[in-house]
Structure 1
Amino acid sequence: MFDLYIKNGRTVAGDRIEIGILNGKIVALEKKLEVKTAIKTIDLKNKGYISAGWIDGHTHCYEKLTLYYDSPDTIGYKQGVTTVIDAGSTGADTISDFYQLAIQAKTNVFALVNISKTGIVHQNELSNLENIQEKLVSDVIANYPDFVVGIKARISKTVIGDNGIRPLELAKSIQKKNSNLPLMVHIGSAPPNLDWILSIMEKGDILTHCYNGKPNGILNKKGKIHEFVWEGYHKGILFDIGHGTDSFNFNTAEQAKREKLPCPIISTDIYHRNREQGPVYNFSTVMEKMLYLGYSLSEMIPMATTNPARAFNLPLKGELKIGYDADLTIFKVENKEKELIDSNGNTRKTQQVVTPLRTVVGGIEYTLGAG
């Protein structure tokens, strides 16, 4: 007996797949299952792809903020995303309240705690070093071990003021005293310069907004990737899209693809405004941009599933395996034209449109509008 039986599906590699789910876990996985009874059966009739549930590793979904906020379910299961990770919206002052809201969501919600106790109440949360208190961050990590999956430091001029690289040094110190939890670093305007930032970051740290088109980005004045960026990549820093309102540029992304600098993690940096007005809109639109760049579906899906699950230490998510959480995304890819826009107003025409059809979170299935 299964709670949910999904039949006649396909993997992104084109292989046939059927899945049996019981008590929120994947308990059977074959090309063809012999199923006598199931509480609910979904027959995809070979028309939908099944992947592990999409994971958006950079969102802003603490609904009580005034700068960057959204509803976890609006950007989550309703868009085919089974897990969202809020990237530093809250610090020690507000994360307990965020947690109480997050556990009410149908989407899986995790958080990166901001090293500033205030979180992103104001744009410049790291301009006052008194906001960075190691004990407060450590207490949050200890008190919410199943919710806090990492640490966030926004290291750009508009955030750190005149403090230079010091906030990042403090973030690394906090990280090392807390079992080396993943550290995500936001980049943008200088100072500090990107080479300073990458020299301090280490293997497993996550550099978000990697394809921005700003002067302090990954490209040099000749339009090539900086050598120090390659050095950061080779020492194991993880590059993350973190699209956002102002942090994805087609020219930068295309050059990175030409030079074969991979970006292992897809994320949106989504909040209500760039969801409603663009250029982000939703997770699948960012996936379409990766397909446009020339990544195959089989190359791209791990960027949205396996890779973020490993980066943020989510051991039972990100893969279709027996014993793993029954978080699945069922979607289609259609050959039709669509205009895509980046953060700087540049447009491209794609011929591949990604549409989520159903979301399964912890074994509970949600049929979306297109399904």
Structure 2
Amino acid sequence: MVDLYLKNGRNIKDDSPIEVAVLGKKIVAVGHQLVGIVARKTIDLDGKYVSAGWIDDHVHCYEKLTLYYDDPDEDGYKSGVTTVIDAGSTGADNIGDFYKITRKKITNVYAMINVGKTGILAQNELGDINTVKKEPLMNVIEQYSDFIIGIKVRESHSVVIDNGVEPLKRGKAFQNELGGSFPVMVHVGANPPELKAVLDLMDENDILTHGYNGKPNGIIDKEGNIEQFAWEAYRRGITFDVGHGTDSFNFHTFDIANAAGLTPQSISTDIYNRNRLNGPVYDMATTLDKFLMYGYSLKDVIDKVTKAPANSFGLVNKGWLCPGYDADLTIFDVIKNTEITLTDSNHNQRTFNQKICPRMSVVMGKAYEIGG
């Protein structure tokens, strides 16, 4: 007897049949057709796609902030995302409160701790370098080791003011004390500091988010070519993460990068209340539509929101549709021959003829229909 049997699903790899059985909070069987299954609950997927649960590795969902905030469940299971990773909304001062709030949510919630102890109480949280303290950061990482899975450093001028790359240097020092493999995600934007100076400090354990923005301090030079230092960082193994956001994904930048082969390893939204309600982000599915538009396969885009973030952040029980993994699943349709308009962060628009539509989230073995 299993708890949940999903039958008549479709595989994202080749459209072949796929069925899944769940016992408790774990996947116990996956196959083209599961025979002899007796289940407490059976759901006929009627040909819908089923994948490992989507993971958004860049959201802002601490509800008590005023700049970037949201309800994790609005960013999460209600839109087909079963796991969200908050990207540094909170620091040592307030991450304990954030942790307590997230325990009451349906969506799996993890966090990167902001290298500054205040978190994003204001846009310039790293303008005072005295907020970057080792002892309080290390203490809460130890206290909430099941929740804090990375460090976030925001390295753009409005955040660091006159401190340049010093916050990142300190974040890297903390990372080294944690054993080196603890990931650091770095936000980039307007200069100073220069993008090259930021990337020069990063290595294969680090994640660059907002890498495809349209700002002057970006990966494209004045002649429209990819900067050599960006290629060096990419080849060094730094993970390039989309981090779409309100101001950080530009079609023209991505046209150049994609054509040259400097493609993202992971796709994230940088979603929060305002860009969820008003765009251009809206949700993970809309973000994924943009990469289908660029010719990426369905399997590739789904891998970039399942396996890739699970690997980046050491989520060893998530990201794969295999027995033994957590029973986090996303069930969705791909509607074809329907015209949609997609908008980047600089209000540029393009049309496309397909749309991903999430229909159900299964979070730790429990199924939730998605409205609308």
TM bin (shorter chain): over 0.9
Aligned to 1:75: 75
Q: Does 1:132 align with 2:126?
A: no
User: Could you tell me how far apart the structure 2 residues matched to 1:199 and 1:294 are?
Assistant: 31
In structure 1, give the amino acid aligned to 2:108.
N
User: Could you tell me how far apart the structure 2 residues matched to 1:346 and 1:193 are?
Assistant: 26
Report the count of equivalent residues. Answer: 369
Aligned to 1:251: 252
Give secondary structure in 2 for the equivalent of 1:200. coil
Aligned to 2:277: 276
User: Could you tell me how far apart the structure 2 residues matched to 1:266 and 1:87 are?
Assistant: 14
1:250/1:342 contact within 8 Å kept: yes
Aligned to 1:107: 107
2:332/2:358 contact within 8 Å kept: yes
In structure 2, give the amino acid aligned to 1:137.
L
Residue 355 (structure 2) aligned to one of 346, 353, 358: 353
User: Could you tell me how far apart the structure 1 residues matched to 2:213 and 2:116 are?
Assistant: 24
Aligned to 1:266: 267
Q: CA RMSD in A?
A: 0.8
1:208/1:239 contact within 8 Å kept: yes
2:5/2:37 contact within 8 Å kept: no
Residue 338 (structure 1) aligned to one of 337, 340, 349: 340
> Map of 1:289-300 to 2, 5 A cutoff?
289-300=290-301
Aligned to 2:187: 186
2:92/2:118 contact within 8 Å kept: yes
In structure 2, give the amino acid aligned to 1:360.
V
Over 3 Å counting, the alpha-carbon distance change for 1:263 and 1:36 in structure 2 is closer
User: Could you tell me how far apart the structure 1 residues matched to 2:248 and 2:108 are?
Assistant: 25
Residue 365 (structure 1) aligned to one of 361, 364, 367: 367
Percent identity over the alignment? 53
| Cα displacement (A) at 1:222 | 1.1
In structure 1, give the amino acid aligned to 2:356.
V
User: Could you tell me how far apart the structure 2 residues matched to 1:264 and 1:111 are?
Assistant: 20
Measured against aligned partners, the alpha-carbon deviations of 1:275-317 in whole angstroms (never above 9, x if no partner) come to 1111000010000011112211121111010000000100010
Aligned to 2:143: 143
User: Could you tell me how far apart the structure 2 residues matched to 1:22 and 1:334 are?
Assistant: 31
Structure 1 gap segments, 5+ residues each: none
> Map of 1:25-174 to 2, 5 A cutoff?
25-46=26-47, 48-174=48-174
1:253/1:293 contact within 8 Å kept: no
User: Could you tell me how far apart the structure 1 residues matched to 2:53 and 2:316 are?
Assistant: 13
TM-score, normalising length from structure 2? 0.98
User: Could you tell me how far apart the structure 2 residues matched to 1:165 and 1:84 are?
Assistant: 27
Measured against aligned partners, the alpha-carbon deviations of 1:209-232 in whole angstroms (never above 9, x if no partner) come to 011000011111111111110100
User: Could you tell me how far apart the structure 1 residues matched to 2:302 and 2:17 are?
Assistant: 17
Structure 2 gap segments, 5+ residues each: none
In structure 2, give the amino acid aligned to 1:151.
I
User: Could you tell me how far apart the structure 1 residues matched to 2:33 and 2:297 are?
Assistant: 26
> Map of 1:201-350 to 2, 5 A cutoff?
201-335=202-336, 336-350=338-352
User: Could you tell me how far apart the structure 1 residues matched to 2:208 and 2:172 are?
Assistant: 14
| Cα displacement (A) at 1:350 | 0.9
TM-score, normalising length from structure 1? 0.98
| Cα displacement (A) at 1:36 | 4.2
Measured against aligned partners, the alpha-carbon deviations of 1:62-82 in whole angstroms (never above 9, x if no partner) come to 000011000000110000000
Give secondary structure in 2 for the equivalent of 1:322. coil
Aligned to 2:25: 24
User: Could you tell me how far apart the structure 1 residues matched to 2:355 and 2:12 are?
Assistant: 15
Give secondary structure in 2 for the equivalent of 1:269. coil
User: Could you tell me how far apart the structure 1 residues matched to 2:145 and 2:165 are?
Assistant: 28
Give secondary structure in 2 for the equivalent of 1:229. helix
User: Could you tell me how far apart the structure 2 residues matched to 1:131 and 1:222 are?
Assistant: 39
1:61/1:86 contact within 8 Å kept: yes
In structure 2, give the amino acid aligned to 1:182.
P
Measured against aligned partners, the alpha-carbon deviations of 1:298-338 in whole angstroms (never above 9, x if no partner) come to 21111010000000100010001110000000001111110
User: Could you tell me how far apart the structure 2 residues matched to 1:124 and 1:151 are?
Assistant: 17
User: Could you tell me how far apart the structure 1 residues matched to 2:37 and 2:165 are?
Assistant: 62
